[in-house]
Structure 1
Amino acid sequence: MSLVSSSRSPVFSFVVVADTHINEDESLSSSPYQTNALANARARYVFQDIAAMSPAPRFVVHLGDIVHPVPSLPSFMQAVENFRSISSSVKVPIHLVPGNHDVGDKRVQGMPADQVCDAYLDTYRKAFGRDYYAFDEGPLRLVLVNSLLINSGLDEEVRQREWLEEQLSSAGDRRIFLFMHYPPYIYSEDERGNYDNIDQPGRDWLLDLMRRPQVEATFAGHVHNFWYDRVGEGEFYMLPSTAFLRHDFTEFYRTAPDVEFGRGDAEKFGYFIVDVYADGHVAHSVRTLGRQVSGDSEAFAPVDQFLTHPKTSMLDNMGVELRHPWAESMQITATGGVQEFGRKWARNDYPLLALWEMGVKLSKVPVLDLEEQESRTRMQLMARMGHRYVVTTLGLPRGAQSVDELSRAGVAAYEVNFPSAQFEMHRHALKTRRETDGVQIFYSPILSHDPDQYDGQHFNHVIKAGFSLEDLDGVAQTMSASRQAGEIDGVTVRITPDQDLLYAYREMRAFHERTGCEILASLKLAGPSLAKERADDAANVASVAQTIVLSRASSGIRYIYDTFMDVDRGYFPRHAFIDRHFNPRPMARAYCCLNALLSGLGDCQLTDVDKATAESLEFKAGNQSFRLVCATAAGFRQLEHLPSGAAVLDLASGQYTNAASVLEEAEADGLLHVVLITLK
């Protein structure tokens, strides 16, 4: 597996895997779900993927639920043997912590299986070795915790407790990473005990340890879903499974789940690659998409992985608008199975995961997100790793937050929306707010009359905001004077999908150079009719690819796509970066690929901006030359004459290919295709 990352070279990397649930048989499982029967083939893919990593990781940590049969079943040892065989392709050390399927469920009433006991611990140790231990690697101390012992009442609980406290106390200057199966909590530190967390009093004891200043990160499994939080100064990650989704949490979905009522939502399966630096770490999510390698086949086709993250991305002036709730909390229904006695609270962190995988650092949010405690707290959390926010308001901002509160929440700017007829009366107030809050102000006019609303037959009730490209000449003098007076920093410009992005770039750049105003380019994904869906993923890929290049080619323009998640109901239905199950669309993959490739190369220089077209855009970044091609078959015939050694990246799939394959596919389907060609 070839890794392309926006990160600088780490000291070393390691892999974290969770909940493989290896079965006793290749195609059978003690679970009634067909998804579970595929666990072995999916785990085999994961370990072969890890084995193919270049550069190789230093080690692998497995967070438990290594096998699916519990220790009381006669099939347990066969599943153990299968795990050994399946993971044997990995030649670096694999460190294991036990899960509830490996040693029994936690000690509490209402658990659905046999509970942890000395006999099951002995069985685990004979099969896998130690159930808790630590090792040092470079600047780190890695501490593996048996979370099933906590609150167990077993003699070993006391021994682990004393040992764990000693490991943290004796670490010296080493940074500490903790690994465990059960997370202490999934939603809040004071939540009620349930199947997915550690109960009191052990939870508070563990959280106190996690708050120690040298604890940099904690990784937990069990929940088969992604969540992120901080405990003290340490980052806290809950990982997805490689085998199946805990589908009670598909309650987050606004549309019906797919395979086996959500259990087989393979786009959420995956593992983590963690890059370790002298001054911190970056945890990358790798989606395996449920890929499989069968037991009787030696064939393995590694895929290219493009890794980026807000901590490492250099794409500072491009982002997305979060129209949907992006940190939504809700009560998860008690449907039975592992949750029978009441609902539990959980937060949907899948939009956040998608933002991280794309390396998005800039988001536009409604002022409601800043005003409400829960979303503001998440903004503050994200700001600590580089997220920045443009807060859009209807009318003047109310100034409810102090300068310090705005800074901690990562607020970089206000986008202030009101009709242009009110601009003169608000100029002084804009200046006061800008000086008081210490953030930038972008003025966005609300269009009070739009001739496009009526086409002679239909009248569309549509709100539009932002200057059009055609407006810019007429407002240049007024906006320039307002900027010089300290009232605004820039303006919002509205760009629709049918507009040529290169033309828009030239017009906005000229306006910026003439007025000194920065520009917030609002890139619309909706079509012209509020009643018709725009679902052109290929056009979206072309748009985001061109925009990323243009955003790196000049300062003074920030590009924000007006939709992050699909709109599949209401007005202007449209595709965007993620679907309503929060899974990435091709547009997100293209964003990730280009961000990972270009972040470390510095700014882009367009080779000849006056001759560039939407079909072919040549540019340089660092010491490399590129050509972005967005074309149908006719435009791709130029690929027949590429220089030797040119690399062709299909931005929709995120995989390297070759010129002949792209041309053949384009001729067969007649559709738009988007590739990035590295010329040298």
Structure 2
Amino acid sequence: MPDELGKKLFTYAVITDTHLNQGETESNSEFAVNKLSNGRMRFVVQDLNRRNLAFVIHLGDLLHPVPAVPHLYRRAAEQFKEQVADLDHPLHVLPGNHDIGDKPCDWSPTCIVQDEFIALWKEHFGANYRAFDHGDCRFILFDSQIINSGLSIEAEQAAWIETELAAATDQGKRIFLNCHYPPFLTYPDEQDHYDNLTDPGRSWILDLMEHHRVEALFAGHVHNVWYNHYRGTDCYLLPSTAFVRLDYAEIYRVVPTPEMESGRNDIGKLGYFLVHVHESGHICEWVRTYGEVSAPDRSAIEPQDDVATIHPRQNSNTRFGFDMRQNWLEVIEVPPSGALDEFDRKQTRNDYALMALLDMGVRRLRIPLRDLLNPDHRARLDDCARLGILFTLFSFGIPDSRALDAISQSRGLIDIWEISDLFQKLPSVVEAVAPTANAAGISIFVSKLRSIDELVRDGEKYYHTTSHGFTPDDGRQLAEVADWDNVDGVVFRISGETAPWRAAQDVADVCRVPGLKASLHIRMTTGSPGSTPLDDDWVANRAAEALVVSAAHSNMHVYIDTFADVDRGYYRRHGVVDRYYNPRQAFYVLRYMNGVLADGFSAQTGDVFTPAHADASISLIDENKR
């Protein structure tokens, strides 16, 4: 898959919702964090300047003061122009609702778009819709606020968009659309709310996207990150550089910390996108700015010798991933806030889980059978697969006919199926599922459910908890499994007290003669179900060691059992992201290690990294001996 993208052609940046104020520390907003918008924008400009970019696109809401308050609007516009004068790259801007007024909205007392506001925008920033070419790509920036407005300029823009799309299609151009309001947030047929386009405008633009095979659409307004795929088009909703929308703080099942200002200053969610355009596709990289502020007199940011990171589509290591225990695919209903939406709940997802996986370059996820049976989840898995993610299924016992049918329809989506049961029952389970697995091109791995007697015999304390997976001491049973038809591998449970590298050596030894592949489940907790290990250094080191195991052993798949924090219930522990789905230390360790390992790792040729012994360290040194 990494070669499918082809050569990288160029990179550009997309920023949005900068919300500049009329003064450096002035704001006509009641929220304290809004006073930081100018300094945060200045940092972004400096950060962009240290990068090799073809150009920058701004998706709107350049300013915070709305055009209904023209004296503040003009002052804020001057602040914006003063800042971007320092930008070293060409800048293309389009208006947001704070710049020319909101979309027509009967239920909300907002400042609706009108000709006077559009004229004020043009006075300071030029046309409110525009297009340009770069290489074989056409970038179309349109004004989403005027759609459905009934203004004369709406019809003018509609004719222009259709002409631009037709010309780009005739010329064989790749098409990238850019707007402020996203056509939809979660579902193409969702009800109208503050954060989407209303029909008939929504259906019109979606039909054009499908007809002209638009490669990607980028939108702002929501101040959060989401990804959708609509009939051939990748749709990206981008974060703000300034602040997070308060209504979406409801997504996270955790109380915001005081410094988060009820979620508006959740700095782990601020930033912008880099878009890397390749010969046969594109990938997006999220640059998290963490709310960094640059004062007016701060010198430019020095170029940094960053470790190159990779997207899952670029990662040849398909053997490392996470056990997705929490429901990362669920659709969440955001309650009416009394502010922007009052008459219904908005349906959305927590896509920060997906973004963290993409940021780390992780290719493989372990998912339960339930995700194939839920239509929303199943459709979402297809979206994620387009981003390069592979899936391992797990289940217990013999599935019913409905489940088997769902699995049979997952060819190309699921390539490994881990099945658990009591050891004596596993042969009949394998016999029952083998026809379905073989027809769908799925490899079967088996995992034995460990009985109470085994736990006691092995000296483990009985905590009334479920334990499954083989151990290196199960050599006799592993030899039996090797004689079963249709079994490709076995599952091993690696306790928190056992180092992943040491465990991998033992597993390799016991699997070598039977010729079995192995799946290693790396436990990220130690002790009893009531213990609370919250050592981020331990988590990061263990995660790094697990990744190295997957790179060093071509016959092992390695899964870390904790993606997001578990802060309640049994086995409380830290993951690679916290409950706000912001990165922890292990996130960055995995992200940069994946990037470093990528250059020398090739699943196609079977190359692996192999330290000489269990106590060996891995030194990552580039060609300049750094």
Give the direction of change, closer, same or farther, for the CA distance of 1:326–1:306 in structure 2 (3 Å limit). farther
- The answer for the alignment partner of 2:422 in structure 1 is 419
d(CA) in 1 for partners of 2:460, 2:281? 60
Larger strand proportion, structure 1 or 2? 1
- The answer for the alignment partner of 1:617 in structure 2 is 617
Contact persistence 1:104–1:120 (CA under 8 A): yes
d(CA) in 2 for partners of 1:539, 1:450? 31
Contact persistence 2:220–2:237 (CA under 8 A): yes
d(CA) in 2 for partners of 1:299, 1:427? 62
Q: Deviations over 1:157-215 (max 9, x none)?
A: 00000000000001120010000000111011111111111111111111111112431
User: Please, which of 459, 470, 473 is the counterpart of residue 470 of structure 1?
Assistant: 473
- The answer for the alignment partner of 1:406 in structure 2 is 410
Matches within 5 A, 1:91-130: 91-130=88-127
- The answer for the alignment partner of 2:299 in structure 1 is 298
Give the direction of change, closer, same or farther, for the CA distance of 1:404–1:220 in structure 2 (3 Å limit). farther
- The answer for the alignment partner of 1:66 in structure 2 is 62
d(CA) in 1 for partners of 2:6, 2:595? 11
- Corresponding position: 1:282 with 2:283: yes
Contact persistence 1:70–1:103 (CA under 8 A): yes
- The answer for the alignment partner of 1:144 in structure 2 is 141
d(CA) in 1 for partners of 2:292, 2:535? 26
User: Please, which of 382, 393, 396 is the counterpart of residue 395 of structure 2?
Assistant: 393
- Corresponding position: 1:449 with 2:460: no
Give the direction of change, closer, same or farther, for the CA distance of 1:126–1:559 in structure 2 (3 Å limit). same
Contact persistence 2:392–2:416 (CA under 8 A): yes
Contact persistence 1:112–1:337 (CA under 8 A): no
- The answer for the alignment partner of 1:327 in structure 2 is 329
- Corresponding position: 1:23 with 2:21: yes
Give the direction of change, closer, same or farther, for the CA distance of 1:477–1:455 in structure 2 (3 Å limit). closer
Q: Deviations over 1:86-140 (max 9, x none)?
A: 2233211110010000001112213343211111111101101111011111110
- Aligned residue for 1:16, secondary structure, equals strand
Contact persistence 1:273–1:284 (CA under 8 A): yes
d(CA) in 1 for partners of 2:156, 2:320? 52
1:600 counterpart letter in structure 2: D
Q: Which runs of 5+ in 2 are unaligned?
A: none
Q: Deviations over 1:628-655 (max 9, x none)?
A: xxxxxxxxxxxxxxxxx643xxxxxxxx
- Aligned residue for 1:11, secondary structure, equals strand
Give the direction of change, closer, same or farther, for the CA distance of 1:394–1:188 in structure 2 (3 Å limit). same
Q: Which runs of 5+ in 1 are unaligned?
A: 1-5, 627-644, 648-680
d(CA) in 1 for partners of 2:98, 2:120? 12
Give the direction of change, closer, same or farther, for the CA distance of 1:18–1:369 in structure 2 (3 Å limit). same
Matches within 5 A, 1:232-243: 232-243=231-242
- Aligned residue for 2:183, secondary structure, equals coil
User: Please, which of 349, 352, 357 is the counterpart of residue 347 of structure 1?
Assistant: 349
TM-score, L = length of structure 1: 0.86
Contact persistence 1:306–1:592 (CA under 8 A): no
- The answer for the alignment partner of 2:362 in structure 1 is 360
- The answer for the alignment partner of 2:529 in structure 1 is 530
Contact persistence 1:314–1:600 (CA under 8 A): no
Matches within 5 A, 1:222-237: 222-237=221-236
Q: Deviations over 1:582-619 (max 9, x none)?
A: 11111111111111122122256556523x41xx4237
Contact persistence 2:165–2:212 (CA under 8 A): no
d(CA) in 1 for partners of 2:582, 2:408? 35
Once the two structures are overlaid, the 10-residue window that deviates more, 375-384 or 498-507, is: 498-507
- The answer for the alignment partner of 1:11 in structure 2 is 9
d(CA) in 1 for partners of 2:547, 2:345? 43
- The answer for the alignment partner of 1:428 in structure 2 is 431
Matches within 5 A, 1:172-191: 172-191=171-190
Give the direction of change, closer, same or farther, for the CA distance of 1:378–1:221 in structure 2 (3 Å limit). same
Q: How much is the aligned-residue C-alpha RMSD, in angstroms?
A: 2.3
Once the two structures are overlaid, the 10-residue window that deviates more, 517-526 or 381-390, is: 381-390
Matches within 5 A, 1:196-211: 196-211=195-210
Give the direction of change, closer, same or farther, for the CA distance of 1:200–1:457 in structure 2 (3 Å limit). closer
- Aligned residue for 1:203, secondary structure, equals helix
- The answer for the alignment partner of 2:48 in structure 1 is 50
Q: Deviations over 1:274-325 (max 9, x none)?
A: 0001111111111111111112322636664643221112221000011011
Give the direction of change, closer, same or farther, for the CA distance of 1:619–1:256 in structure 2 (3 Å limit). closer
- The answer for the alignment partner of 1:635 in structure 2 is none
- Aligned residue for 2:276, secondary structure, equals strand
Poorly superposed stretches of 4+, deviation over 4 Å? 6-9, 450-459, 603-608
**Alignment coverage as a number of residue pairs:** 611
Give the direction of change, closer, same or farther, for the CA distance of 1:270–1:305 in structure 2 (3 Å limit). farther
Contact persistence 2:408–2:436 (CA under 8 A): no
Give the direction of change, closer, same or farther, for the CA distance of 1:16–1:330 in structure 2 (3 Å limit). same
Q: Deviations over 1:374-420 (max 9, x none)?
A: 10110111112321111110112345336762125x11111101011
TM-score, L = length of structure 2: 0.93
1:169 counterpart letter in structure 2: A
- Aligned residue for 1:108, secondary structure, equals coil
d(CA) in 2 for partners of 1:272, 1:134? 20
1:344 counterpart letter in structure 2: K
Contact persistence 1:140–1:177 (CA under 8 A): yes
Please state how far the C-alpha of 1:144 moved relative to its aligned partner: 0.4
- Aligned residue for 1:351, secondary structure, equals helix
Please state how far the C-alpha of 1:8 moved relative to its aligned partner: 7.2
User: Please, which of 150, 153, 159 is the counterpart of residue 153 of structure 1?
Assistant: 150
Please state how far the C-alpha of 1:433 moved relative to its aligned partner: 3.9
d(CA) in 2 for partners of 1:33, 1:344? 23
d(CA) in 1 for partners of 2:87, 2:453? 62
Give the direction of change, closer, same or farther, for the CA distance of 1:397–1:27 in structure 2 (3 Å limit). same
Contact persistence 2:17–2:60 (CA under 8 A): yes
- The answer for the alignment partner of 1:35 in structure 2 is 33
2:272 counterpart letter in structure 1: Y
Give the direction of change, closer, same or farther, for the CA distance of 1:404–1:51 in structure 2 (3 Å limit). farther
d(CA) in 1 for partners of 2:610, 2:207? 56
Give the direction of change, closer, same or farther, for the CA distance of 1:394–1:13 in structure 2 (3 Å limit). same
Contact persistence 1:453–1:462 (CA under 8 A): no
d(CA) in 2 for partners of 1:176, 1:404? 36
- Corresponding position: 1:544 with 2:558: no
Contact persistence 1:150–1:157 (CA under 8 A): yes
User: Please, which of 372, 386, 392 is the counterpart of residue 370 of structure 1?
Assistant: 372
Contact persistence 2:601–2:608 (CA under 8 A): no
Contact persistence 2:373–2:406 (CA under 8 A): no
- The answer for the alignment partner of 1:167 in structure 2 is 164
1:617 counterpart letter in structure 2: S
- Corresponding position: 1:263 with 2:259: no
Contact persistence 1:195–1:338 (CA under 8 A): yes
d(CA) in 2 for partners of 1:261, 1:299? 32
d(CA) in 2 for partners of 1:533, 1:458? 17
d(CA) in 2 for partners of 1:114, 1:295? 31
- The answer for the alignment partner of 1:87 in structure 2 is 84
- The answer for the alignment partner of 2:250 in structure 1 is 251
- The answer for the alignment partner of 1:638 in structure 2 is none
d(CA) in 2 for partners of 1:20, 1:285? 16
1:104 counterpart letter in structure 2: G
d(CA) in 1 for partners of 2:461, 2:94? 64
Q: Deviations over 1:255-284 (max 9, x none)?
A: 112211000001000100000011111111
Please state how far the C-alpha of 1:327 moved relative to its aligned partner: 1.5
Contact persistence 1:63–1:181 (CA under 8 A): yes
- The answer for the alignment partner of 1:437 in structure 2 is 440
Give the direction of change, closer, same or farther, for the CA distance of 1:209–1:406 in structure 2 (3 Å limit). same
Contact persistence 1:15–1:59 (CA under 8 A): yes
Contact persistence 1:308–1:357 (CA under 8 A): yes
